[in-house]
Amino acid sequence: MAGDTARLAEDTFPKLLLRNAALFGDRPAMREKDLGIWQTWTWSQMLEEVRAFSLGLRALGLQAGGKVAIVGSNRPRLYWTFAAVQSLGAVPIPVYSDAVAEEMAFVLKHAEATMAVVEDQEQVDKLIGLAKRLPKLKHIIYDDDRGLKNYDHTTLHPFDDVQDSGRSLAKADAGVVAAWEKHIHEGKGSDTSVILYTSGTTGQSKGVMLTAERCVGAARDTVAFDRLTETDETLAYLPLAWVGDHYLNYAQGMVAGFCIACPEGPETVAVDLKEIGPTFYFAPPRVFEGLLTQVMIRMEDAGALKRRIFSYFMDVAKQHGEAILDGKPVPFSARLKYALGNMLVYGPLKNVLGFSRIRVAYTAGEAIGPDLFSFFRSLGINLKQLYGQTEAFLYVTAQPDGAVRADTVGLPMANVDIRIADNGEVLFKSPGMFAGYYKDKAKTKETLTKDGYVMTGDAGFFEADGQLKIIDRAKDVGKLKDGTLFAPKYIENKLKFFPDVKEAVAFGDQRDKVCVFLNIDLTSVGNWAERNNIAYASYQELANHPDVLATMEKHVRQVNADLAREPQMAGAQIARFLVLHKELDADDGELTRTQKVRRGFIAERYQPLIDALYSGKNECDITTEVTYEDGRKGKLSARVKIRDVERFAANGMKEAAE
Amino acid sequence: MSLVETLPASQRDILLKVDNISLSFGGVKAITNISFDIRVGEIRAIIGPNGAGKTSMLNVINGFYHPQEGTITFEGVPRPRMRPHHAATHGVARTFQNIALFRGMSTLDNIMTGRGTLMKRNLLWQALWTGPAEREEIEHREAVEKIIDFLEIQHIRKTPVGRLPYGLQKRVELGRALAAEPRLLLLDEPMAGMNREEKEDMSRFILDVNSQFGTTIALIEHDMGVVMDLSDRVVVLDYGKKIGDGTPDEVRANQDVIDAYLGVPHE
C-alpha torsion sign, points A547, A553, A554, A559: positive
Same domain, B255 and B232: yes
Beta pairing partners, A579: A518
Query: Cα separation of A277 and A351, whole Å?
Result: 8
Nearest CB to A35; choose among B5, B142, B207: B142
User: Is B5 in Cβ contact with A35 (below 8 Å)?
Assistant: no
Average pLDDT, chain B: 87
Does any CB of chain B come closer than 8 Å to the CB of residue A150? yes
- CB-side neighbour CA atoms (13 Å) of B63: 20
* Chain B hits for A265, Cβ within 8 Å: 152, 154-155
Query: In this model, does residue B13 exceed pLDDT 50?
Result: yes
Nearby residues of B109 by Cβ (< 8 Å), 6 or more positions away: B102
Same domain, B143 and B205: no
User: Is B211 in Cβ contact with A147 (below 8 Å)?
Assistant: yes
Of A253, A281, A309, the domain-final residue = A281
Nearest CB to B1; choose among A34, A147, A150: A150
CATH number, domain containing residue B232: 3.40.50.300
Distance from CA of B161 to the nearest CA of A (A): 17
- List helix spans (H) across A277-319: 285-301, 304-316
Does any CB of chain B come closer than 8 Å to the CB of residue A264? yes
Nearby residues of A336 by Cβ (< 8 Å), 6 or more positions away: none
Contacts across the A-B interface (CB distance below 8 Å):
36
Query: In this model, does residue A281 exceed pLDDT 70?
Result: yes
pLDDT level of residue A3 (50, 70, 90 thresholds): very low
Domain tally, chain A? 4
Query: Cα separation of A462 and A468, whole Å?
Result: 5
Q: What is the pLDDT of residue A204?
A: 76
User: Is B150 in Cβ contact with A146 (below 8 Å)?
Assistant: yes
- List helix spans (H) across A121-238: 121-129, 159-172, 175-186, 212-225
Query: In this model, does residue B4 exceed pLDDT 50?
Result: no
Same domain, A95 and A72: yes
Among A73, A149, A273, most B C-beta atoms within 10 A, so best to mutate, is: A149
Rg (CA), chain A: 27
With H, G, I as helix, E, B as strand and everything else as coil, classify residue A33: strand
Amino acid at A354: G
Query: In this model, does residue A6 exceed pLDDT 60?
Result: no
User: How far from the centroid of its chain's Cα atoms is residue A144's Cα?
Assistant: 28
Same domain, B113 and B87: no
Distance from CA of A271 to the nearest CA of B (A): 8
Average pLDDT, chain A: 91
Element (H, E) at B235: strand B233-238
Same domain, A78 and A118: yes
Residue range A454-485, pLDDT digits in tens: 999 999 999 989 999 999 989 889 899 988 88
Of A381, A401, A433, the domain-final residue = A381
Beta pairing partners, A362: A282, A384
Same domain, A69 and A205: yes
User: Is A267 in Cβ contact with B155 (below 8 Å)?
Assistant: yes
Does any CB of chain A come closer than 8 Å to the CB of residue B208? yes
Q: Which domain holds residue B108?
A: 94-174
Same domain, B85 and B199: yes
Pairing of strands A28-34, A259-262: parallel
Of A381, A416, A442, the domain-final residue = A381
Same domain, A118 and A198: yes
Q: What is the pLDDT of residue B9?
A: 56
| A207 neighbors A245 (Cβ within 8 angstroms) | no
Query: Cα separation of B26 and B49, whole Å?
Result: 22
pLDDT level of residue B265 (50, 70, 90 thresholds): low
Does any CB of chain B come closer than 8 Å to the CB of residue A146? yes
Contacts of range A7-12, beta carbons closer than 8 Å, 24 or more positions apart:
A10/A216, A11/A188, A11/A189, A11/A212, A11/A213, A11/A216, A11/A217, A12/A86, A12/A184, A12/A187, A12/A188, A12/A189, A12/A191, A12/A193, A12/A212, A12/A213, A12/A216
Angle subtended at Cα B239 by Cα B236 and Cα B245, rounded to the nearest 5 degrees? 15
With H, G, I as helix, E, B as strand and everything else as coil, classify residue A123: helix
Q: What is the pLDDT of residue B1?
A: 38
Please tell me which residue of chain A has the smallest CA distance to B149.
A35
- List helix spans (H) across B23-180: 54-61, 84-89, 107-113, 123-128, 131-150, 166-179
Same domain, A82 and A31: yes
Residue range A348-399, pLDDT digits in tens: 999 999 999 999 999 998 889 888 999 999 999 999 999 998 899 988 999 9
Please tell me which residue of chain B has the smallest CA distance to A264.
B154
User: Is A149 in Cβ contact with B154 (below 8 Å)?
Assistant: no
Same domain, A270 and A355: no
Residue A171: count other Cβ atoms within 10 Å of its Cβ.
10
Q: What is the pLDDT of residue A365?
A: 84
Does any CB of chain A come closer than 8 Å to the CB of residue B250? no
Q: What is the pLDDT of residue B6?
A: 52
Same domain, A320 and A240: no
Same domain, B165 and B205: no
User: Is A265 in Cβ contact with B152 (below 8 Å)?
Assistant: yes
pLDDT level of residue B123 (50, 70, 90 thresholds): confident
Please tell me which residue of chain A has the smallest CA distance to B146.
A35
User: Is B149 in Cβ contact with A35 (below 8 Å)?
Assistant: yes
pLDDT level of residue A649 (50, 70, 90 thresholds): confident
Nearest CB to A147; choose among B145, B154, B212: B212
* Chain A hits for B5, Cβ within 8 Å: 150
Element (H, E) at A595: none
Please tell me which residue of chain B has the smallest CA distance to A269.
B155
| A481 neighbors A489 (Cβ within 8 angstroms) | no
| A191 neighbors A176 (Cβ within 8 angstroms) | no
Q: What is the pLDDT of residue A189?
A: 93
Domain tally, chain B? 2
User: Is B212 in Cβ contact with A149 (below 8 Å)?
Assistant: yes
* Chain B hits for A121, Cβ within 8 Å: 208
Q: Which domain holds residue A623?
A: 477-655
CATH number, domain containing residue A67: 3.40.50.12780
Does any CB of chain B come closer than 8 Å to the CB of residue A267? yes
Query: In this model, does residue A30 exceed pLDDT 70?
Result: yes
Nearest CB to B212; choose among A146, A264, A268: A146
Q: What is the pLDDT of residue A657?
A: 40
Mean pLDDT of A180-205: 86
User: Is B207 in Cβ contact with A35 (below 8 Å)?
Assistant: no
Same domain, B216 and B237: yes
Q: What percent of chain B has pLDDT over 90?
A: 50
CATH number, domain containing residue A597: 3.30.300.30
Of B174, B205, B236, the domain-final residue = B174
pLDDT level of residue A140 (50, 70, 90 thresholds): very high
Does any CB of chain A come closer than 8 Å to the CB of residue B145? yes
Nearest CB to B154; choose among A121, A150, A268: A268
Distance from CA of A463 to the nearest CA of B (A): 45
CA–CA distance from A6 to each of A9, A122, A187 (Å)? 5, 44, 16
Q: What percent of chain A has pLDDT over 70?
A: 96
User: How far from the centroid of its chain's Cα atoms is residue A120's Cα?
Assistant: 25
Same domain, A402 and A440: yes
CATH number, domain containing residue A400: 2.30.38.10
Same domain, A250 and A348: no
Residues 270-329 of A with CB under 8 A from B: 271
